[in-house]
Structure 1
Amino acid sequence: MRKYLFTIIALIVATLFVNAQQVVKKVGDTISTIKLQSTKGDVYNMADHKLKGVIIVFMTPSCDHCIAYEKRISALHEQYKKKGIPVVAIGPYGDNEKDYPYDAMPAMKKLAEEKSFTFPYLADEKFKYTWLFDIRQTPKAVVLKKLKEGFIVTYIGNIDNEPDEKRVPTIKYVEDEADKVLGKSVQ
């Protein structure tokens, strides 16, 4: 009897553990929206905007690689927002000022003001979207295409193939994907 009881308890615990694991989104998966606190003080909800798609960039104020990409990220936003695919940046540590003071909301607000970001810069809540898209370093991009209900993930990865801000990228992954979302052929 004890053996059966132990087996049943073990199965229940294992089932709860598996169900508690975060499901990671991959290319082809869908998401209903992203809704997070903005550096402007409001809550930004993608579902509230008329979009053809979204370029999400995970970035932090203290990351050297993110700093090197700031101009390119702003240029992406300017290039694609008019076409219906704006940039929305997410700070993975935005809600954790205690553990990440150089990357939390106050630092994000300061950066957004200093650099005059025209795109929303959102603070992730307990790494919800950072984990959802399996982001392990910054900057990383996710391209979403708008569907009737929600968005489909079309790309997760690097912005381009050149992390050195002094060099010109030869492959622009996010631009190529955004053009595909818009129905343009990519060479």
Structure 2
Amino acid sequence: MKKFKIIGLLTLLVITMSFVNNDKAVLGYEIGDVVTDFSLKNIDGNMISLADYKEAKGFFVIFTCNTCPYAIAYEDRIIALNEKYKSRGFPVIAINPNNPEVKPGDSFEEMKSRAKEKGFNFPYVLDEGQRIYPQYGATKTPHVYLLEKTDKGNVVRYIGAIDDNYQDAAKVEEKYAENAVDALLAGEEVKVTKTRAIGCSIKV
């Protein structure tokens, strides 16, 4: 009987540790964390890093893809974000975190086609090997991380959704991402630093 109890306790411990480790992998960056730079292939064949943007004040790093209905619904708004804020020092870098073997529609070739079709005005890079999205803790497409460039590095200032209405841009009441970057540009604290990202799960 004692042997079965010990085996049961060991099994429970293994399961518990498994959940803890998974939580750590999912948690990723928090507000105030300094992110590690990446080097990912853009649809034009060039490698893209945060360090390439010498004059940037920060970035919208947005995890998105070709195939998710939520991501597709936000494409025009992501284009608009870059149009509005790139010249003010906050460009968009879009990262496709999906495994193309699981989602062929998110292959590199399909990314190039989608970007051309929609007229993407920002880098659209593939998280090859799915190494970057776990660092950030991204779980959805789309999932936004607003970074501010500081003396310490690129610091996370906002995490979550672009706004509060994925279905209809005309009915948006809270533009979370825009409000956050506007606060930074005004030298103010970001009031809403985290919201729940609404979208499809990342395909592994």
Q: Does 1:162 align with 2:162?
A: no
Q: Does 1:125 align with 2:128?
A: yes
Offset of residue 100 of structure 1: 2.0
Report the AA paired with residue 59 of structure 2: V
Report sequence identity in percent: 35
Offset of residue 43 of structure 1: 0.2
What does residue 36 of structure 1 align with?
Answer: 40
Q: Deviations over 1:73-113 (max 9, x none)?
A: 100000000101011100002xx433321112111111111
Report the AA paired with residue 33 of structure 1: D
Offset of residue 182 of structure 1: 1.3
For 1:150 and 1:69, the matched residues in 2 are separated by 28
Offset of residue 181 of structure 1: 2.0
For 1:34 and 1:158, the matched residues in 2 are separated by 22
Q: Does 1:46 align with 2:54?
A: no
Aligned length: 168
For 1:32 and 1:127, the matched residues in 2 are separated by 15
CA contact (8 A) 2:43 2:123 kept: yes
For 1:32 and 1:130, the matched residues in 2 are separated by 12
CA contact (8 A) 1:139 1:158 kept: yes
CA contact (8 A) 2:28 2:138 kept: no
The structure in which a higher percent of residues are helix is 2
What does residue 57 of structure 1 align with?
Answer: 62
Report the AA paired with residue 86 of structure 1: P
For 1:71 and 1:181, the matched residues in 2 are separated by 23
Which of residues 58, 65, 71 is equivalent to 1:66? Answer: 71
For 1:152 and 1:125, the matched residues in 2 are separated by 23
For 1:42 and 1:85, the matched residues in 2 are separated by 20
Quickly say closer, same or farther: Cα 1:173–1:130, change in 2 above 3 A: same
Taking structure 2 as the reference length, the TM-score comes to 0.75
For 1:70 and 1:147, the matched residues in 2 are separated by 29
Offset of residue 180 of structure 1: 1.9
CA contact (8 A) 1:53 1:145 kept: yes
For 1:118 and 1:179, the matched residues in 2 are separated by 21
Q: Secondary structure at the match of 1:57?
A: strand
Q: CA RMSD in A?
A: 2.1
CA contact (8 A) 1:39 1:121 kept: yes
Offset of residue 149 of structure 1: 4.5
What does residue 26 of structure 1 align with?
Answer: 30
For 1:159 and 1:57, the matched residues in 2 are separated by 9
Report the AA paired with residue 71 of structure 2: C
Which of residues 137, 142, 157 is equivalent to 1:139? Answer: 142
What does residue 81 of structure 2 align with?
Answer: 76
